[in-house]
Amino acid sequence: MATTAPTGSPLSQPSLTHPPPQRKLTTVKALSESPGLSSIPSIYTFPKQTYHEPVSDTKETIPTIDFCLLTSSHPDQRSKTIRELGIACRDWGFFMVTNHGVPERMMKAIIEVCREFFELPEEEKRGIGGKHVLHPIRFGTSFNESVDEILCWRDYVKIFQHPEFHSPNKPPSFREIALEYSKRVRLVAREIIRGISESLGLEKDYIDETLNLENGLQLIVANLYPPCPQPELAMGLPPHSDHGLLTLLIQNQIGGLQVQHKGKWVNIDPIPNSFLANIGDHIEILSNGKYKSVLHRAVVNNRDVRISIAVPHGPALDAVVSPASKLVENVGNPPAYGAMKYKEYLELQQGTMLNGKSCLERIRNGV
Site string for ligand OGA, 260-299 (x = CB under 6 A): ------------------------------------x-x-
Find the residue with minimal CB distance to ligand OGA. Answer: 308
Q: Is 242 in the site for ligand OGA (CB under 6 A)?
A: yes
215 backbone dihedrals φ, ψ, rounded to 5°? -110, 25
Contact pick of 62, 114, 221, 321 for ligand OGA (by CB under 6 A): 221
| DSSP β-bridge partners for residue 6 | none
Sequence-distant (6+) residues with CB within 8 A of 217 are 160, 162, 163, 244, 312, 313, 314, 315, 316, 317, 342
By the 8 A CB rule, do 246 and 283 touch? Answer: yes
- Minimal distance, residue 242 CB to ligand OGA, in Å: 5
Q: State how far the Cα of 292 lies from the Cα of 89, in Å rounded to an integer.
A: 7
Q: Which residue lies nearer to Ni ion by CB, 198 or 242?
A: 242
Contact pick of 157, 185, 310, 363 for ligand OGA (by CB under 6 A): 310
Neighbours of 255 (CB within 10 A): 15
- DSSP annotation of 270 reads P
| 298 binds, options Ni ion, ligand OGA, none, Cβ within 5 to 8 A by partner type | ligand OGA
Q: Is 223 in the site for ligand OGA (CB under 6 A)?
A: yes
Contact pick of 148, 155, 242, 284 for Ni ion (by CB under 5 A): 242
Site for ligand OGA in 2-61 (CB under 6 A): none
Residue 163: CA count within 13 A, CB half-sphere: 9
Q: Which residue lies nearer to ligand OGA by CB, 248 or 298?
A: 298
| 84 binds, options Ni ion, ligand OGA, none, Cβ within 5 to 8 A by partner type | none
- Minimal distance, residue 12 CB to ligand OGA, in Å: 45
Q: Is 257 in the site for ligand OGA (CB under 6 A)?
A: yes
Q: State how far the Cα of 336 lies from the Cα of 365, in Å rounded to an integer.
A: 5
Length of the chain: 367
Q: Is 284 in the site for Ni ion (CB under 5 A)?
A: no
Residue (of 220, 18, 248) closest to 114 by Cα position:
220
| 285 binds, options ligand OGA, Ni ion, none, Cβ within 5 to 8 A by partner type | none
Site string for ligand OGA, 111-130 (x = CB under 6 A): --------------------
What Rg, from alpha-carbon coordinates, does the chain have?
22
Q: What is the 3-state secondary structure (H, E, C) of 64-100?
A: EEEHHHHCCCCHHHHHHHHHHHHHHHHHCCEEEEECC
Amino acid (one-letter) located at 201: G
- Judged by CB under 5 A, the stretch of 55-63, 91-99, 122-130, 240-248 that binds Ni ion is 240-248
Q: Which residue lies nearer to ligand OGA by CB, 192 or 298?
A: 298
Q: Is 89 in the site for ligand OGA (CB under 6 A)?
A: no
Residues at the contact surface with ligand OGA, assessed by CB under 6 A? 221, 223, 237, 242, 256-257, 296, 298, 308, 310
